[in-house]
């Protein structure tokens, strides 16, 4: 984009009108900017299209003198304030004694009691989201600090970049002229209406622009100029970590990261769906920065961490920011757009896989664990371990909680996740198989096996005199032998 000063200089040197006409022709020959193509759809007419663009500009233009940086800054600040107010209101509606903090007891009194299992899960989810210091209560400050703000104002930034005279303002007149020219480029038959055939030509560019604009804004440390920027995505790991991040109800996986020899520094962005331990080995001196994010979170913090890299070089990002991905599709496109916005350039390489045992960087070679290659730990039930190995062929990996760089709490599992936990409990004699395929809890256990949802769900019968273990049962069916009462999604299937 040329500034007004540079245009003036070209006009002066090149004898005025001829140079200006040439510059105008170059601008008209270029493709329409994506920001002007996004509102177009089959059937849209010119005035409808222009009105939509002008409406967004005028709503943000507080002083009526054209859209500028101050307008965008204020619009964004107002949206952030609204997001904070929404979080605070969600918490304070449970504040029965008016002391500006909410306890579990108050939440229980406010929420309905039709389904005790569902109630417990709702309370746990609310506390997990807001209770940053895990003290069992939520303060107004904790609620306000949880930033759920999704920045949807990148469109205004894109519009201001269109500023044709470079004076830092985009006026309605300027935008109308730009919009009419963009529309004319697509409206090849000149009937002032976009047909399906005309739209099909620009549809791929529109989709790409929409994906880029939907990318979240993530605050990331600066990228060294000489560093190679690499993004890696995974849904899950092939193994379970013995250390859990973010509380006993999480399922924390582990992926090994092998850094290959070389001299170029590496800036790594590692994303996952599951809570993850990324364990580094090899030429780790090459790693200038590691950014780790996961969709799994505790009180607004990514429930993931790093082993083998000094804490000063590790950044635990906000949950799903950048977003997790595991294959080269629209989500990896969004990640690339996020990195461009945060760091000034797209990743040099981007790799992904649904499940990973080890990734070698910077080559991106991904290794998977072989099913049945890891024997059960001593004391575990072999038959149930075989079932667990279908989900985690890499088995159980011992991790010292103190070695993990993380924002969330890191501690040993009391009971391992789902089938792995069942194998552990069977080996201890705390649960027994029944003739119906269910499992009977015959001795007190410290915690419900986490991650008992979907295909991991089972029926757990709590024997008479045995307390119901704490924790989220997921989709499993919990049956009380003493009363015959049952709860949980799987119970409905049994009925």
Strand-pair partners of 478: 460, 487
CA atoms lying within 13 Å on the CB side of residue 24: 10
Identify the pLDDT of residue 12: 27
* SS3 of residue 65 by DSSP: coil
Identify the pLDDT of residue 372: 75
What is the torsion angle, in degrees rounded to the nearest 10, for the CA atoms of residue 318, residue 324, residue 329 and residue 332?
Answer: 50
For residues 54 and 176, the answer to whether their CB atoms sit within 8 Å is yes
- Give the angle subtended at the CA of 305 by the CAs of 262 and 86, to the nearest 5°: 130
pLDDT of 144 above 60: yes
**Residue (of 213, 193, 254) closest to 38 by Cα position:** 213
Distance CA 387, CA 372 (A): 10
**Residue (of 89, 92, 88) closest to 102 by Cα position:** 92
**Residue (of 415, 422, 493, 495) closest to 456 by Cα position:** 422
Angle between helices 382-391 and 418-428 (to 10 degrees): 170
Tokens of 326: 């595991």
What are phi and psi for residue 161, nearest 5 degrees?
-65, -15
For residues 454 and 431, the answer to whether their CB atoms sit within 8 Å is no
Tokens of 16: 């005025």
- Give the angle subtended at the CA of 161 by the CAs of 159 and 164, to the nearest 5°: 100
Tens-digit pLDDT profile for residues 379-394: 999 999 999 999 999 9
| Residue 213, Ramachandran bin (φ over 0: left; ψ between -120 and 50: alpha; else beta) | alpha
Tens-digit pLDDT profile for residues 197-254: 999 999 988 887 777 777 788 889 999 999 999 999 999 999 999 999 988 989 999 9
Identify the pLDDT of residue 6: 34
Angle between helices 17-29 and 4-13 (to 10 degrees): 130
Tokens of 215: 């990318």
Identify the pLDDT of residue 118: 54
Q: Where are the beta strands (DSSP E) in 28-146?
A: 101-103, 137-139
Tokens of 383: 């038959």
C-alpha distances (whole Å) from 238 to each of 55, 275, 367, 383, 390 are 50, 13, 10, 19, 10
Mean pLDDT to the nearest integer, 340-355: 92
Domains and CATH numbers, the chain: 1-30 (no CATH), 72-145 (1.10.238.10), 228-367 (no CATH)
| Residue 175, Ramachandran bin (φ over 0: left; ψ between -120 and 50: alpha; else beta) | alpha
The model carries a pTM of 0.71
Mean pLDDT to the nearest integer, 281-297: 93
Alpha helices (runs of H) in 348-417, residue ranges in sequence order:
382-391
What is the torsion angle, in degrees rounded to the nearest 10, for the CA atoms of residue 227, residue 233, residue 239 and residue 241?
Answer: 60
pLDDT of 115 above 80: no
């Amino acid at each position: 984009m040329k500034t007004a000063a540079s245009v003036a200089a070209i006009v002066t040197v090149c004898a005025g009108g001829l140079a200006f006409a040439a510059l105008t022709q170059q601008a008209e020959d270029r493709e329409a900017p994506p920001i002007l193509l996004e509102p177009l759809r089959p059937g849209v007419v010119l005035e409808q299209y222009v009105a939509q663009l002008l409406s967004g500009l005028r709503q943000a233009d507080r002083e009526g003198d054209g859209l500028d940086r101050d307008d965008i800054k204020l619009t964004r600040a107002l949206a952030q304030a609204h997001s904070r107010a929404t979080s605070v209101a969600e918490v304070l509606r449970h504040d029965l004694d008016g002391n500006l903090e909410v306890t579990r007891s108050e939440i229980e009194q406010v929420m309905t009691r039709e389904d005790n299992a569902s109630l417990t899960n709702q309370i746990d989810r609310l506390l997990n989201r807001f209770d940053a210091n895990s003290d069992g209560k939520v303060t107004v400050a904790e609620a306000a600090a949880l930033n759920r703000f999704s920045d949807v104002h990148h469109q205004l930034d894109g519009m201001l970049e269109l500023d044709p005279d470079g004076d830092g303002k985009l006026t309605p007149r300027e935008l109308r002229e730009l919009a009419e020219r963009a529309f004319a480029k697509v409206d090849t038959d000149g009937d002032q209406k976009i047909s399906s055939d005309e739209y099909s030509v620009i549809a791929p560019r529109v989709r790409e622009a929409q994906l880029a604009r939907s990318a979240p804004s993530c605050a990331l440390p600066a990228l060294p100029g000489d560093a190679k920027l690499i993004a890696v995505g995974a849904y899950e790991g092939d193994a379970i970590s013995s250390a859990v991040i973010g509380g006993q109800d999480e399922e924390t996986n582990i992926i090994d990261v092998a850094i290959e020899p070389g001299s170029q520094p590496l800036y790594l962005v590692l994303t996952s769906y599951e809570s993850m331990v990324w364990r580094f080995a090899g030429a780790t001196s090459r790693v200038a920065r590691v950014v780790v994010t996961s969709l799994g979170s505790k009180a607004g913090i990514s429930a993931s961490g790093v082993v083998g890299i000094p804490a000063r070089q590790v950044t635990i990002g906000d949950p799903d920011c950048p977003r997790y991905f595991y294959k080269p599709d629209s989500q990896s496109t969004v990640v690339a757009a996020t990195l461009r916005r945060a760091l000034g350039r797209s990743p040099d390489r981007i790799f992904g896989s649904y499940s990973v045992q080890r990734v070698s960087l910077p080559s991106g070679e991904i290794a998977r664990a072989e099913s049945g290659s890891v024997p059960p730990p001593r004391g575990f039930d072999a038959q149930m371990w075989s079932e667990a190995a279908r989900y985690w062929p890499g088995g159980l990996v011992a991790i010292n909680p103190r070695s993990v760089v993380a924002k969330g709490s890191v501690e040993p599992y009391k009971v391992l996740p789902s089938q792995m936990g069942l194998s552990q409990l069977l080996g201890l004699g705390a649960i027994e198989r029944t003739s119906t395929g269910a499992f009977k809890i015959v001795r007190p256990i410290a915690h419900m096996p986490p991650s008992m949802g979907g295909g991991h769900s089972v029926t757990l019968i709590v024997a008479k005199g045995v307390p119901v273990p704490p924790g989220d049962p997921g989709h499993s069916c919990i049956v009380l032998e003493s009363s015959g009462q049952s709860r949980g999604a799987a119970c409905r299937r049994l009925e």
